[in-house]
Amino acid sequence: MLIKDEKLILPEKIDRYCVTDLLDEFHKLDKSKIRFFDLSEVKEIDSAGVALLDEFQLIHKAELQNVRESVAEAIDTFSVGRLPKVEPVKSDNIFVKMGEGFLNWIYASKDVLYLLADISFWSVVGLFNKKGQRKGSTIQQSLLIGVDALGIIALLSFILGLILALQSAAQLRQFGANIFVADLMGISMVTEMGPVLTAIILAGRTGSSIASEIATMKVTEEIDALKMMAINPIRYIVVPKFHAITLCVPLLVTASILVGIIGGLIVAVTYLDLSWVSFINRIFEVVRLKDLLIGLGKSFFFAWTIVVIGSYYGFKVSGGAEGVGKVTTQAVVASIFWVIILDAINSLIFYF
């Protein structure tokens, strides 16, 4: 390259093999003497050469002159500077976003109510008419939802019972109120910890399973295939899960309560020097039938919420495998959120 009459004369060939050397040479030139880039000698240029010209113009603003037709076509094709400018998308103000979010919430609530109505109707019909369901599907789902979850629920309930008893024992022992650890374990496990812990574990296991299964079936068009065969997807897929979780939840909650109390019993006997007879007797004195019914009763609402939310997100999936992962995560988060909200509402209703 050389500078002549305020023009930078570019070589005959500008391609990927020489652009590095040309750029280094350009940096060494006195750019104050350059007003134009003369391309009269340029006969061959590729995309790398066009990128070099863009870099020259970015470093030093100068016009291109004497451009051959073939070179001009390459520049029009590969030059970044020739691309149309994209106008930045204006973000909506906070009121527009709030309104859009509110409308989306209204539409989602309407869809959930429709889905809840369908599940409730077909669940009742399914008790008397098994048409449209696979034979033995409820038993199969009971094994998946109930039996497979029993181990992890029992383990975590036992650890939780130990922790609750240990945390309270250190304080109760200072006041000679060792026996009241039975009150704490009985009330907390029956009314709160047992049902909530079981629901959270089921939200992670069953909620994610329901959402991912339905979402995968929709992505692979199995849902459409069921509709083409005049099979109701809710009746075929969701109702057996609804029946199974309704049967399994009170049993799982009962197991969680018993195992958690056993964990507290171990701490009471070994750390607080209580006899197991006095511990058990105290629990039967303080735990009322009302507390047991409340604990078991709200577990049903937790279970139904998990099924409805998992089904809702499963049917709302869009896209491929990435969409399945997204709705599965959303289903678990929403299930845990609503379990906690329902538990708070239950506490306000029955204990205040």
pLDDT at site 308: 94
**% of the chain with per-residue pLDDT over 70:** 97
- Amino acid (one-letter) located at 26: F
Residue 71 φ then ψ, to 5°: -70, -40
CA dist., res. 341 & res. 196, Å (int): 11
pLDDT of residue 252: 95
Banded pLDDT at 114 (limits 50, 70, 90):
very high
d(C-alpha 181, C-alpha 169), whole Å: 7
Cβ count within 10 A of residue 177: 13
What per-residue confidence (pLDDT) applies to 85? 65
Q: What is the pLDDT of residues 66-113, one digit of tens each?
A: 788 888 888 887 777 665 666 777 777 788 888 888 999 999 899 999
- Rounded CA separation 10/32 (Å): 17
Say if CB 185 and CB 165 are below 8 A apart.
yes
In the chain, DSSP finds a helix count (H) and a strand count (E) of 15, 6
Choose the weakest-confidence range: 38-47, 192-201, 316-325.
Answer: 38-47
Which residues sit opposite 37 in a β-bridge?
8, 64
Least Cα distance to 253 among 205, 210, 303 occurs for 303
Instruction: For CA atoms 96, 102, 104, 106, give the dihedral sign.
Output: negative
- Mean pLDDT in residue range 106-122: 91
Mean pLDDT of 179-193: 89
Sequence-distant (≥ 6) Cβ neighbours of residue 100 within 8 angstroms: 92
Burial class (CB in 10 A: 0-12, 13-18, 19+), 230: exposed
Task: Show me where the domains of the chain are located.
Answer: 2-82, 95-351
Higher pLDDT, 195 or 67: 195
Identify the pLDDT of residue 84: 65
Q: What is the pLDDT of residue 82?
A: 60
Q: Which of 32, 224, 201, 234 is nearest to 120 (CA)?
A: 234
* Model confidence pLDDT, tens digit, residues 264-297: 999 888 888 888 898 899 999 998 888 899 999 9
Q: Which one is predicted more confidently, 193 or 31?
A: 193
Confidence of residue 179 (pLDDT cuts 50, 70, 90): confident
Whole-number pLDDT of residue 247: 93
218-263 confidence digits (pLDDT tens): 998 899 898 888 888 999 999 999 999 999 999 999 999 999 999 9
CATH of 2-82, one of 3.30.750.24, 3.10.20.600, 3.40.1520.20, 3.40.50.300: 3.30.750.24
- Cβ contacts of residue 133 below 8 Å, gap of 6+? 126, 235, 236, 239, 240
pLDDT at 195 over 70: yes
In this prediction, residue 352 carries a pLDDT of: 65
Residue 223's contacts (CB-CB under 8 Å, 6 or more residues apart) are 214, 217, 233, 315
Most confident of 16-30, 120-134, 213-227: 213-227
Residues shown for the chain = 352
- What number of other Cβ atoms are within 10 A of residue 103's Cβ? 10
Q: What's the burial of 290, exposed, middle or buried (CB within 10 Å: 0-12/13-18/19+)?
A: exposed
Q: Model confidence at 320, in pLDDT bands (50, 70, 90)?
A: confident
- Per-residue pLDDT band for 194 (boundaries 50, 70, 90) equals very high
- The residue with greater pLDDT, 214 or 93, is 214
Model pLDDT, residue 71: 80
Q: Which amino acid is at 169?
A: A
Summarize the confidence of residues 4-18 as an average pLDDT: 80
Look-up: residue for tokens 């937790």?
302
What does the alpha-carbon distance between residue 89 and residue 87 come to, in Å, rounded to a whole number? Answer: 6
Q: How far is CA 70 from the centre of its chain?
A: 53
pLDDT band for 13, please (50, 70, 90 cuts). Answer: confident
Give the pLDDT score at 203.
93
Average pLDDT, the chain: 87
User: For residue 227, how many other CB atoms are within 10 A of its CB?
Assistant: 11
Provide mean pLDDT across the span 202-211: 92
Return the pLDDT at 155. Answer: 94
Closest CA to 343 of 253, 279, 224, 255: 253
Sign of CA dihedral 196, 142, 205, 335: negative
